[in-house]
């Protein structure tokens, strides 16, 4: 897992054609605040359901993971690494500091 600043995350993401953006916030947070365009949303608070859904993702992809502040996404990256995902990137500062595009749900 790599902890990336907002700038590093956006730069690497823009140059990565094997990327998946993963939002691990709650459904309520996504509805209230929006989502980074084209992100996959899987709520980390769903426990085993989160693990089950994550395990359906392509482990060969590079994952750019975010939550509101960077804490839950760090936990999600650690869980994903334990499940065999080799390329996970955590967004430091999370969505609350995101300055890029936002889509409404």
pLDDT tens-place string over residues 18-68: 999 999 999 999 999 999 999 999 999 999 999 999 999 999 999 999 999
pLDDT tens-place string over residues 71-104: 999 999 999 999 999 999 999 999 999 999 999 8
Q: Considering the entire predicted model, what is its pTM?
A: 0.97
Q: Write the burial class of residue 74 (CB in 10 Å: 0-12 exposed, 13-18 middle, 19+ buried).
A: buried
Q: In order of start, what are the domains of the chain with their CATH numbers?
A: 2-97 (3.40.250.10)
Joined together, the tokens standing for residue 12 give 């690497």
Distance CA 18, CA 36 (A): 17
């Amino acid at each position: 897992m790599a902890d990336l600043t907002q700038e590093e995350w956006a730069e690497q993401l823009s140059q990565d054609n094997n990327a998946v953006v993963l939002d691990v916030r709650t459904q309520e947070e996504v509805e209230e605040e929006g989502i980074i365009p084209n992100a996959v949303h899987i709520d980390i608070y769903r426990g085993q359901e989160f693990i089950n859904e994550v395990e359906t993702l392509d482990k060969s992809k590079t994952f750019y993971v975010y939550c509101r502040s960077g804490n839950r996404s760090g936990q999600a990256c650690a869980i994903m690494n334990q499940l065999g995902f080799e390329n996970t990137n955590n967004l430091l500062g999370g969505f609350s500091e995101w300055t890029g595009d936002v889509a409404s749900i």
